Amino acid sequence: MAEGEDGGGLLLGRCAAVEGLFTDPPPPRREVLVMRGCAPGAVAGWLGRAWIEGRTASGFEAWWSLVDAEVLSVAPSPEGPALVDVAIGAGVRSDDWHRNADGPFVRFELTAERGPVRAVGRAVPGLAADRPAADPLPLRLVGCEPAEPMRAALRKRRGRHPGYTELWSLDDTGWVMDRRAIGFDAEWTRPSVLGGALVDVLLTVDADGLPGSAARPAWLSRRAGPPQRPGGWRALDAAGRHAWLMLALHRERPAGPDRSGGEYHLPGAGVRDELGLHCAIGEALLGPGGYYGWGWAALADSLCGGFGIVPPFTLHWHDFAATERELAAESGPAAGLGYPEELARLLERYGVTVVRA
């Protein structure tokens, strides 16, 4: 699908399958970053997926994604006797948001998808450097039936569609399962291996635009259609649960206003980690495959509306103590609170009655 001249959707074509959708991009070059002038509290250890957020004095924000991040050391800082410097080893994703900054960054925050490590510092030398973009990856559209806009692009020496273009993945029922911007940059077109008047088209796409191999089990589990039974995410590993949440996020939602009121039940045992807990919350509030945030900040966004249900309502959190035990190593943004308790308090601040059972 592409954006038409009137701003609406423009069908470029349909294809039977896509080869290369679950290709993993090569990891970015690893670097060592030092967050200087941090308040005490950070500890050495593995973070996994993490982010550094930079802010200017006026409040402008920019983010850098860290791949397989690890806090290597926490050492006394020359900037003050009560401060520390935090060394971080990670692959840093190319990011040019910092180019729009309206002044120097004066505050940096390190956050992780999982784990208790968090640091706030004054400077991170070298963070805002330009980094080479990842090489594009091949994506083969198999058995395409091109509409005229695609045929027009393919007639060019190097087939490109000039506008914003998305790949829509449909499940077996015809429901849009995923939408992702890939552009339309065709290397070649050939008669399809499926025969007839169909064609195969080889595209080159941004490596970061593909779901990756870890997402495949979640996609396969939802290919037959929207989930009909609860708990489909429980058999997936952590990467699969993340993919499950992203599919839930991108799933088309029925039109209409958000509803409020009512009582909902959250099974708190067996969630295993933060991602599992958010899968369970979305399912408790909106049924199998439902989405209501994939992390702390996303849950706060969902509570503000646009995701089917808004406070006030009542959430019965069953086996709350079991959730706390399973997520004992996780912590929320508030120091000293476990992640489940922090989420419960967040829900309560927005007007949800949380009954811990």
Going residue by residue through the chain (357 aa), what tens digit of pLDDT does each one get?
A: 777 666 678 899 999 999 999 999 888 899 999 999 999 989 899 988 899 999 999 988 898 999 999 999 999 999 999 999 999 999 998 667 777 788 899 999 998 865 555 899 999 999 988 888 888 999 999 999 999 989 988 888 667 887 889 999 999 999 889 999 998 999 999 999 999 999 999 999 988 789 999 999 999 999 999 899 999 999 999 889 999 999 999 887 777 899 999 999 999 999 989 999 999 999 999 999 999 999 988 999 999 999 999 999 999 999 999 999 988 866 555 556 789 999 999 999 999 999 999
Domain with 50 in it:
30-121
- The residue among 210, 240, 273 that closes a domain is 210
In angstroms, rounded to a whole number, what is the distance separating the alpha carbons of residues 243 and 211? 8
- Give the distance, in angstroms, between the CA of residue 243 and the centroid of all CA atoms in the same chain: 8
- Tell me how far apart the 2 most distant CA atoms of the chain are, in Å: 75
Q: Tell whether 7 and 63 lie within a shared domain.
A: no
Q: Tell whether 111 and 180 lie within a shared domain.
A: no
Q: Tell whether 11 and 160 lie within a shared domain.
A: yes
- How many independent structural domains does the chain possess? 3
Domain annotation covers residue 176 = yes
Q: Tell whether 102 and 171 lie within a shared domain.
A: no
Domain annotation covers residue 126 = no
* CATH, residue 296: 3.30.370.10
Q: What is the pTM of this model?
A: 0.76
Q: Tell whether 39 and 166 lie within a shared domain.
A: no
- The residue among 159, 178, 210 that closes a domain is 210
Q: Return the structure tokens found at 245.
A: 């949440």
Domain annotation covers residue 127 = no
Q: Tell whether 192 and 224 lie within a shared domain.
A: no
Q: Tell whether 52 and 143 lie within a shared domain.
A: no
Domain annotation covers residue 309 = yes
Q: Tell whether 232 and 321 lie within a shared domain.
A: yes
**Quick one: which of 100, 123, 46, 93 has its CA closest to 208?**
93
- The residue among 121, 144, 167 that closes a domain is 121
| pLDDT tens, position by position, 93-120 | 866 777 778 889 999 999 886 555 589 9
Q: Tell whether 175 and 307 lie within a shared domain.
A: no
| pLDDT tens, position by position, 8-33 | 788 999 999 999 999 998 888 999 99
| pLDDT tens, position by position, 263-279 | 999 999 999 899 999 99
Domain annotation covers residue 128 = no
Domain annotation covers residue 129 = no
Q: Tell whether 241 and 201 lie within a shared domain.
A: no
Q: Return the structure tokens found at 50.
A: 């993490």
